[in-house]
Amino acid sequence: MKPPVESILAKRLVICVGPGGVGKTTSSAMLALVAAGAGRAVDVMTIDPAPRLLDALGLDAGSNQPQAVSLDGLGRGRRGRMRAMRMDPKHTFDRIIERYAPSAAARDAILANRIYRNLSQTLAGVADYMAIERLLELHEQGGADLIVLDTPPAAEAIDFLDAPRRLLEFLNSRAVTLLGASGNMLRGGLSIVDFAARAVLAAFDRVTGLHLLRDVQGFIRGFDGMYPGFVERAARAQALLRDPSCTAIIVTTAERERIAQVSSFVEGLTAAGVAIGAVLVNRVSAELPRPTGARRGDIGPALRRKLAANLADFRALKRREQGALAAIRDAIPAGVPLIIAPELGYEPRSLRDLTEIGRRLKPG
């Protein structure tokens, strides 16, 4: 391994963030392979990998547990080990409930609750929070020198980093607590505004036909007693992300429309106090070959014209890419290295392909 990859993979935790469609999941797996190839024990956690990547990693679609990835036949060098895991937010959330529920009855009530079922799948940030939660689990289990974490696609880094705080805020808001309380508990403790809030919610329920209030109350009551556990874990997760042993890699492609997105990720991570280890520019096309002069007589004029046109086309694409690359370089802070990952010319579909990308990483 060469710098800057070496210093990044010497960390204990690497989080890959970035907009959708840039190859975050593939890059996470690739970085994990590079580290394993350098002798480290690596766990990689992927989110929603393409079926082919699942195959390559030897994961089946339903699996939520770390599985060993065979590194046989991937070249020489010290051999570490690699485990891969797929993250399923709903399943992770269910496990947390099972862990913290004060009783079996409370657990079942929560798991069956309509609000919980919707919350665990649709509330913005739950997938992010669960990724962090799973990370914490893996980290505390130990057993790996390095954990590489893929994150859900996000417009901004803050979506991911802020998830625990948002979820806690939801669970702890006075208003929600108020909803969960029974009439007797509330007596004397409520302001006019609180009563009004309850009243309007009841009206909302009636008018919309949702009948949510009862479910919300059941949900909140079920969470009684679990809240401290949540707070404590969220605090630990936040501390872990800010620890010097953790670093974030912003994954992008060399396209104009990514520049503003990369800047916003840089801002978000910086504001959250998470170190940025590198910006990885994925799928950068290979250098253009130097065309040997075509002598008259070797080929006809028609083919000669096509060669000139083809060369001009690829040069134009290369210039566009280099323009975007230069702009990305300008958009990131001075100390943050740029890593270039090559476009293979075909889609990576095996560990061998990922290893090949890893082998050809270079500073940008």
Interface residue list for other proteins (CB under 8 A)? 19-22, 50, 52, 114-115, 118-119, 121-124, 153, 155, 170, 173-176, 178-179, 193, 196-198, 200-201, 203-204, 206-212, 216, 253, 255-257, 288-292, 294, 298-299, 303, 306-307, 309-314, 316-317, 319-320, 323, 345-347
For 38, which DSSP code? T
Residue closer to other proteins by CB (options 76, 290) is 290
Amino acid at 316: A
What residues form DSSP beta bridges with 83?
43, 68
Residue closer to other proteins by CB (options 82, 324) is 324
Nearest approach, Cβ of 91 to other proteins (angstroms)?
Answer: 18
Which residues neighbour 161 within 8 Å (Cβ) at sequence distance 6 or greater?
A: 241, 268, 269, 272, 274
Residue closer to other proteins by CB (options 247, 261) is 261
Nearest approach, Cβ of 16 to other proteins (angstroms)?
Answer: 15
Nearest approach, Cβ of 191 to other proteins (angstroms)?
Answer: 12
Nearest approach, Cβ of 355 to other proteins (angstroms)?
Answer: 19
Q: Among 150, 169, 168, 174, which Cα is nearest to 160's?
A: 150
Residue closer to other proteins by CB (options 105, 314) is 314
Residue closer to other proteins by CB (options 68, 294) is 294
Nearest approach, Cβ of 315 to other proteins (angstroms)?
Answer: 8
- Residue 14 phi/psi, 5-degree rounding, is -125, 125
User: Is the CB of residue 237 less than 8 Å from the CB of residue 147?
Assistant: no
Nearest approach, Cβ of 307 to other proteins (angstroms)?
Answer: 5
Distances (CA, A) of 218 to 46, 53, 97, 180, 271: 33, 41, 14, 7, 37
User: Is the CB of residue 139 less than 8 Å from the CB of residue 13?
Assistant: yes
Calculate helix-pair angle for 114-122, 89-100, nearest 10 degrees.
130
Residue closer to other proteins by CB (options 140, 267) is 267
Residue closer to other proteins by CB (options 181, 241) is 181
Q: Among 268, 288, 318, which Cα is nearest to 128's?
A: 268
Nearest approach, Cβ of 325 to other proteins (angstroms)?
Answer: 13
User: Is the CB of residue 44 less than 8 Å from the CB of residue 279?
Assistant: no
